[in-house]
Structure 1
């Protein structure tokens, strides 16, 4: 495509192009060294911002919040026993402190060696326990440290992936910034749940998938060039066994699955995507039988490069259970009344048979979870954020704990920044339309992440699920939003008035985002505020 410009400041009609901000920015980045520095300065800057928003006062409140009652205590027992031990019931009589209160007060040895049935695999709890080993189990900072660090790292990965995907440091920095200041991402980095850990591994797997696509594209082009130069046919493509980034994707998503089973959905979607992208890359490279080559040749190879490593990673996460003697169902065949397998599976060791039975119990529990909860949210309404999760609230009266108003409160609510969330939903819809019109694979890649995290949950509309499950695909939503903002901004070569207007409007939007996050931040971090201030955040009745 030929350029319509005669220089950097005017088009062929002599009209100025770009904004004055572009002129200044062009002078700032006038050397290749400065451009290289900017490529990393943007993502690192938003990562530092994310770290500040997540790590400052991380130990507040010094209490087990929401499902921390499960994951913190399980994390502490699993690093000592190799499996989740049993804790005393959390309810007491006669006004005595609860188990959670006693744990927060430093009585962290209340668990017993009796095994506890759990609903999720062990890896996330090991990581939580690691933070507690570093900083102490009686330190709220310690039991939230892992999720805060991985939540911060997710911001960095999001920025770098978006930068690479759209070949724009600005778009990547915007994506990281939006995730850094969003409320749901902040809350899921400051409250010890498994979902923030899951999200880190999912985004890590997406980054590996993107690198594999670029790596494979180069290999296919080189293979075709060699065949053509040698006068050989290119009817069928090569078997690509050496795809290290595809192996890395399998490893990352195996770690995701070892944290929560929903990581399997991402493995399935990403694996199918790798086959479809192989088809398209082989067609572009000039391979005649590009579809059958990808499906019949490469797909089985790709399967062997991803699924076994993911399965082995998942199995390895249960090592503590295997080497223990008292884990749940560890002796199901011996003392639990279980029957050994017969026939062609009779050779399978008892330990694996016991483990498989345990997995079936976990599956049955998760599929059959229909216990009503006041903050459960129908997946059909996730995108409108109909019922975000309130994770903590303590009310105080005037003069109590420093309250200077007639009534105060401390809250942690999973309400996302509305100006980010709803704009991101609109951006995803816009990318669907743009992808259907332009077929840009970059748009499809972002939509893949959203689909993998969202669509499978539509099969479980009757199950007890929560709005904060959406954190697993929120990084892809903010990538979509950043991409659309990039389209709105246009290029430095656009006519000056149009470009200037776009920058002003985007600047206004980002200013509103920052002000909204500042306004909501006390509601994400349990800061004591007057009740009237707290009440002003419940814009929709179902948020309360």
Structure 2
């Protein structure tokens, strides 16, 4: 993830505040700049940091409109079907049990019809073995509490709200990554119009919550990248002698990583697969810290990145995530009748040895519960009609049918034969298929161009998709892809943006020559920038940059990352972009009936089965 450019090393002259035997060229250049503002401006450019600018009104308006559209699409007929759909049979009933008795209980034989009618008498006080943590079910319970247990709308409202929030959030993330109003609004619109996202934010499953918390954790990671780099730039600008230490200064307090830890802990509290996203976020933070140390001129930038950046990042992120996860089991701790809650005590009373007896019983019980859950997950190999291989997920080769209802022909118009109602968890082909090719563009930009934005997108794929490839022999389903569909949308806009000019390649970084002279490679013939000239290096520098960037943003003009000037895109690029988005919208309208359980002629449903051997 190194987005830095090579720089020379040179013997240093007498440096500000002290001497060093060896200094990087960047360090020498800093020693020659006269003011704190000049040094900070140079370091911020080296670190690819944006100067603070207000959010363009057009971006706010556009994201608001897309979010309203997403809300309408998810809330319309949300209560239909008014029966438990697919795995709702587990999660909704568990949510009610959590709300009423504090733990999941066993239900009697065939409890669903009575439950759907509001009769909860089948719930028993005997604890039930459930294989996912409680956070997602507590969120479902909020809707049940507000609208009543007999309300199918109430079962699903929490996940629908999670879906709407994620649409707004992906737009903000895209704006932060690409500095383009058009790209940001498009990313939000793609997520709003994707079938996997639409279906699973209308059904009370857990994966929509996992998606939202993972996305919030990623957003906090991006905020930390800017915040920690800004702190590093400010520390060095205030005292360049901190670079006499070959590792550079410490940045201990990382509040946005604490926020990321909380969100990712909640993601793990929905499903354990959130743990992989925590690992991916931690590795990204480490890699960016190493790259930042190199950019600011630390001599031992790898060691500095690991011990002065990576170690604080770990402390701010990982313990917070695990403490949040542990706290999410609060109800299990409080109720002694919960499953495995008295496991160690039962062994002891039966005269058996207790494994890990050095642990307090309550923690030992939780450990054993996790061990039993892990054994269940890794041994899950039962055949299922809609199980799928994760190697085909990026092309949506085997979607999951959540609901199917065959009706006589008099129940729908335009048909004399059978009618059908279907809810099929299938991604929008106009998003997923181009994004599968677009992922190659992302990989190329990440590796060949060392584009940190491409690496950011890969964080989502690595944390939420790649781990499933290891478990391809297990009983798993395509609907799990909702966890990383926001990153599929980012891959789509990145690839199309790269090809049309909406996303511009990163501008070359300013760098210092061996004698400390600063070079701006994007301005041919211009060697020394304004902030390197003493009489121009005062407080006006950053304010002038900020004013220029704000004006460009308000005009809605596409910008490159941080440095090169804005430009107006050619008409052909705008047409290609508009046509691609229009195709996504048309496919969305075409598939909407079979994503939402509308009554349609059977021939109409069959017209959507483009890959009949795999989609039916």
TM-score (norm 1): 0.88
| Per-residue deviation, 1:109 | 3.9
1:292 aligned to which of 295, 298, 303 = 303
CA contact (8 A) 2:207 2:483 kept: yes
CA offset digits 1:430-454 (Å, max 9, x no partner): 1111222211101110111112111
Q: 1:501 to 1:114 in 2, by over 3 A?
A: same
Give the gaps of 5 or more residues in structure 2.
1-52, 503-556, 559-564
CA contact (8 A) 1:224 1:286 kept: no
| SS of match in other structure, 1:411 | strand
CA offset digits 1:235-288 (Å, max 9, x no partner): 222222211001111111000000000000000111011111100011111111
CA contact (8 A) 1:82 1:321 kept: yes
Task: List aligned pairs for 1:75-224, cutoff 5 A.
Answer: 75-90=95-110, 99-224=111-236
Q: Is the counterpart of residue 411 in structure 1 residue 422 in structure 2? A: yes
Task: List aligned pairs for 1:134-533, cutoff 5 A.
Answer: 134-228=146-240, 233-335=244-346, 341=354, 346-400=357-411, 405-490=416-501, 499-533=570-604
1:52 aligned to which of 48, 64, 72 = 72
| Per-residue deviation, 1:85 | 1.0
What's the counterpart of residue 528 of structure 2?
A: none
CA contact (8 A) 1:234 1:286 kept: no
Q: 1:77 to 1:296 in 2, by over 3 A?
A: same
Q: 1:35 to 1:118 in 2, by over 3 A?
A: closer
Distance 1:506 1:300 in 2: 43
CA contact (8 A) 2:243 2:298 kept: no
Q: 1:403 to 1:111 in 2, by over 3 A?
A: farther
Q: 1:392 to 1:231 in 2, by over 3 A?
A: closer
With 78-87 and 515-524 compared, the bigger mean Cα shift is at: 78-87
With 504-513 and 125-134 compared, the bigger mean Cα shift is at: 504-513
CA contact (8 A) 2:277 2:464 kept: yes
What's the counterpart of residue 615 of structure 2?
A: 543
What's the counterpart of residue 534 of structure 1?
A: 605
| Per-residue deviation, 1:334 | 2.2
Aligned length in residues: 501
| Per-residue deviation, 1:502 | 2.0
CA contact (8 A) 1:340 1:350 kept: no
CA offset digits 1:485-531 (Å, max 9, x no partner): 3233326799x998222222222222221111111001010000000
Distance 2:281 2:186 in 1: 24
| Per-residue deviation, 1:291 | 0.5
CA contact (8 A) 1:108 1:138 kept: no
CA contact (8 A) 1:341 1:353 kept: no
Distance 1:447 1:42 in 2: 26
CA contact (8 A) 2:290 2:309 kept: no
Structure whose CA Rg is larger: 2
Distance 1:340 1:235 in 2: 54
| Per-residue deviation, 1:34 | 10
Q: 1:485 to 1:465 in 2, by over 3 A?
A: same
CA contact (8 A) 1:227 1:234 kept: no
Distance 2:107 2:327 in 1: 25
| SS of match in other structure, 1:159 | helix
CA offset digits 1:353-397 (Å, max 9, x no partner): 111101100011011111110000011111121111000000011
Distance 2:219 2:272 in 1: 20
Distance 1:159 1:338 in 2: 59
With 436-445 and 330-339 compared, the bigger mean Cα shift is at: 330-339
| Per-residue deviation, 1:404 | 5.5
CA contact (8 A) 2:344 2:354 kept: no
| Per-residue deviation, 1:203 | 0.2
| SS of match in other structure, 2:405 | strand
| SS of match in other structure, 1:240 | coil
| SS of match in other structure, 2:458 | helix
With 103-112 and 245-254 compared, the bigger mean Cα shift is at: 103-112
| SS of match in other structure, 1:114 | strand
CA contact (8 A) 1:68 1:192 kept: yes
Distance 2:570 2:582 in 1: 18
| SS of match in other structure, 2:201 | helix
| SS of match in other structure, 1:529 | strand
* Bigger relative contact order, structure 1 or 2 (CA pairs below 8 A, ≥6 apart): 2
What's the counterpart of residue 73 of structure 1?
A: 93
TM-score (norm 2): 0.78
